Amino acid sequence: MNQPPWMPYAWADTGQHETAGSDTNPRIAVYFRLAGHREITDDETAWCAAFVGACLEQAGVRCSRSLAARSYLTWGIDAGGPQIGAITVLSRGGDPSLGHVGFLVGISGTQVKLLGGNQSDSVSVATFDRSRVIGYRLPAGTVTPPAPAPIWQSIPASSDRGFQAALTLVLGFEGGWSDDPFDPGGATNKGITIADFAREQGVEITAANLGQLKAELRQISDADVARIYLERYWRPARCPDLAPALALFHFDCAVNQGLSGSARMLQEALGVAIDGDLGPLTLAAAHACAQSQTIERYADSRRRRYRNLSTFWRFGRGWLRRVDAVTAAAKALVSVLSVSAPQRSAPPTPPQPKENPPMLPQSSDAPAAVPQQPQADTNAPDKPAKWWGESLTIWGALLTATTTVAPAVFAAFGINISADLLQQLGVQAGSAVQAMVGLIGTVMTIYGRIRATTALQRRLVHLHL
């Protein structure tokens, strides 16, 4: 993947944040130490420059060794313009001694997006006005500056282009050697369990060889670590077939919660059949989904599963922090891609066949165009008009009018249907019939209106008395 060597370290710490109160996030203290300021052990000191320095130092690039953001204006060389991954220095207010610094991950119109520290008290991606940029810098001696393209690009099917960056993020969580007796995975180094390591060696774990396997696992090479993650997690989890942000999140889940469990949680988040097999239907749903929403649902599933584990009491806080961090990184990646992706113009509209114009007389004061009336269905075949006497709607209206309007009309002409007359005719029978006929008429009117598809026409009717 074409990205500066310090960027994987920056992405790996996305989600790290200050600790409320007097406590200190030890990871932020590490930034100060790596940047050359061991004397600072709290997270109250402004640490945007410390974060940039720590990422550079981990990549083998000497930083400015200063905690002033503007110190990077004289560090390295001028990038010659915005470059993805470039160290970007911003002004802060009118004070020439103040500023902010981070890594450029997106640019659009009047805004820039920086991945940096101390942004809302955390390592995150934030948007700033482009007018605040006072410098883009790269390390001195850079032979080929990074190309001005998104550091994360769409991962084509059957490709491992996104693997190295995702692995760097995961290794930031997995850490180094661990042999916690409460860890069901047993001895682990860089996330590789003793069981996985033994399978790679083609041996079974026994009391006789356990000590030797642990010693060898302690010395596992970075190349072997990368190969195991690639062949046992990245590819089997179908990460190359997913969009970048979802692939990042899914890979981390597969490593930490297993291939089968991660597949089922992804399917749950996508709302498809849950069978643990990421087949064509699941992948199609993954490509059609809104990534940020899917990642959020996926994260909720991970949290629920963690809380159901018997060892949650011991490892739960770390697991939940991990989910929060990788969620933030994945959603930040969605945001970066949405800004950095090139805008595609709509395809040209194909020419439409011309119809023969109607032969109408033209006049000098005729309007240039006549607005067309909307039609219900321009593709529907023409239907012959029907006689109004065949209209269910009209007959329904007539029946309703007979039972509701007719008595008032009769009264206007001096025809009074009195209570006595109704009593003579049978009040109960008359009311029941009137109500029934009115109901039928109303139903006929509504139903006829719904099903009406044909225009009415007049027809001459002869009555013979």
pTM exceeding the 0.85 threshold for the entire prediction? no
User: What's the rounded Cα separation, in Å, for the pair 157 and 4?
Assistant: 24
Q: What is the largest CA-CA distance in the chain?
A: 117
- Within-domain flag for 25: yes
Are 299 and 167 part of one and the same domain?
yes
pLDDT number for residue 163: 83
Element (H, E) at 43: none
Give the burial string for 50-89 (b: 16+ CB within 10 Å, else e). Answer: bbbbbbbbbbebebbebbebbbbbebbeebeeebbbbbbb
- Within-domain flag for 227: yes
Q: CA-CA distances (angstroms) from residue 163 to 60, 249, 349?
A: 21, 12, 40
Domain span including residue 278 = 163-173+223-340
Q: Give the start-end residues of each E strand in 356-431.
A: 386-387
User: What's the rounded Cα separation, in Å, for the pair 35 and 42?
Assistant: 14
Query: Of 90 and 397, which is predicted with more confidence?
Result: 90
- Within-domain flag for 196: no
Q: Using alpha carbons, select from 259, 223, 250 the residue that is nearest to residue 169.
A: 250
Are 289 and 167 part of one and the same domain?
yes
Q: pLDDT confidence of 464, banded at 50, 70, 90? A: low
Mean pLDDT of the chain: 75
**Domain count of the fold of the chain:** 3
Q: What is the pLDDT of residues 285-329, one digit of tens each?
A: 998 989 899 999 999 999 999 999 988 888 888 889 889 888 888
User: What's the rounded Cα separation, in Å, for the pair 16 and 110?
Assistant: 28
Are 234 and 330 part of one and the same domain?
yes
* 8, pLDDT greater than 70: yes
Query: Of 178 and 431, which is predicted with more confidence?
Result: 178
Give the burial string for 414-449 (b: 16+ CB within 10 Å, else e). Answer: eeeeeeeeeeeeeeeeeeeebeeebeebbebbeebe
* 188: Cβ contacts below 8 Å, ≥ 6 apart: 174, 177, 178, 179, 194
Are 113 and 14 part of one and the same domain?
yes
Structure token digits, residue 430: 């008359």
pLDDT number for residue 268: 95
Are 335 and 390 part of one and the same domain?
no
